[in-house]
């Protein structure tokens, strides 16, 4: 099974030769809606691939398997494929085993999250490889120091790991941390598992704005992804409270215009 994780990563790139970037949605964007209402929105937008990132599915919420089975049933009926599971922070081997189990229940080939420390990252590498999954380290902005704030932080974490483990680049979070998003995508390009497409009003905070209206250089990021021939999912994330349906229609249209 040594190459299983690498194979999963390669599958994420399948279809790159077609020239179009694959636009999907991170489901946290619809966290204010029920699962059923969210699926209505996804179908209306003709979204066929998503990352499961709703809070009630993250490890920190201690979800049970039935939640994942129920979601899988809804997605299968709607013709929507969950390509990645956002686990958030993995603290120990027990949580890692749960993340792998939940990803498989969703039919996902990738897990997005983070884990501090070389020993746990090596466990993630070994166990995801055995399970035939890939893992993307997610960069994040916090008011306090975070282990994966910069592209260099992620690159250091990947040192010594197999191709099973790579990067889930959140361009909005890199912008929040004050880093150039195009440079980040270029540096992490060989390790990309998927991309979170998000725009930010200004560095030092997480004030989401519509794609193209902030500092995240979204058109330039999309051009860089084209140069990389990236075939994985480019998942739109829009972290706003209140009704978001109209804004997400604009987000999807804008992203598709650059795909």
In this structure, the chain runs to a length of 259
Supply the pTM of this predicted model. Answer: 0.92
Closest CA to 233 of 188, 195, 191: 195
pLDDT in tens, 101-156: 999 999 999 999 999 888 999 999 999 999 999 999 999 999 888 999 999 999 99
Closest CA to 25 of 49, 55, 54: 49
Q: What are 84's strand-pairing partners?
A: 51, 110
Measured CA angle at 238 (ends 192, 151), to 5 deg: 30
pLDDT of 2 above 50: no
Domains of the chain: 4-214+222-249 (3.20.20.150)
Contact present, 240 and 208 (Cβ < 8 Å): yes
Closest CA to 154 of 123, 128, 115, 182: 115
pLDDT in tens, 4-53: 444 444 444 444 445 899 999 999 999 999 999 999 999 999 999 999 99
Q: Which residue has the tokens 């084209």?
A: 226
């Amino acid at each position: 099974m040594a190459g299983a994780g690498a194979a999963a990563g390669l599958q994420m790139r399948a279809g790159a030769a077609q020239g179009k970037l694959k636009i999907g949605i991170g489901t946290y964007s619809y966290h204010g809606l029920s699962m059923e209402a969210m699926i209505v929105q996804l179908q209306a937008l003709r979204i066929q691939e998503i990352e499961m990132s709703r809070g009630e599915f993250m490890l920190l919420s201690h979800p049970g398997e039935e939640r994942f089975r129920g979601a899988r049933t809804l997605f299968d009926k709607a013709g929507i494929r969950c390509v990645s599971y956002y686990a958030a922070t993995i603290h120990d081997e027990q949580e890692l085993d749960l993340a792998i189990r939940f990803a498989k229940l969703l039919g996902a080939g990738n897990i997005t999250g983070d884990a501090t420390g070389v020993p746990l990252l090596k466990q993630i590498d070994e166990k995801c490889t055995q399970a035939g999954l890939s893992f993307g380290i997610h960069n994040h902005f916090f008011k306090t120091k975070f282990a994966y704030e910069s592209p260099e932080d992620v690159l250091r974490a990947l040192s010594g790991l197999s191709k099973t483990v790579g990067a889930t680049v959140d361009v909005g979070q890199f912008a929040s941390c004050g880093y150039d998003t195009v440079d980040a995508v270029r540096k992490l390009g060989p390790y990309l598992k998927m991309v979170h497409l998000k725009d930010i009003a200004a560095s030092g905070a997480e004030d989401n704005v519509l794609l193209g209206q902030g500092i995240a250089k979204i058109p330039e990021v999309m051009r860089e992804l084209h140069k990389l021939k990236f075939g994985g999912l480019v998942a739109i994330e829009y972290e706003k409270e209140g009704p978001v349906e109209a804004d997400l229609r604009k987000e999807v249209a804008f992203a598709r215009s650059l795909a």
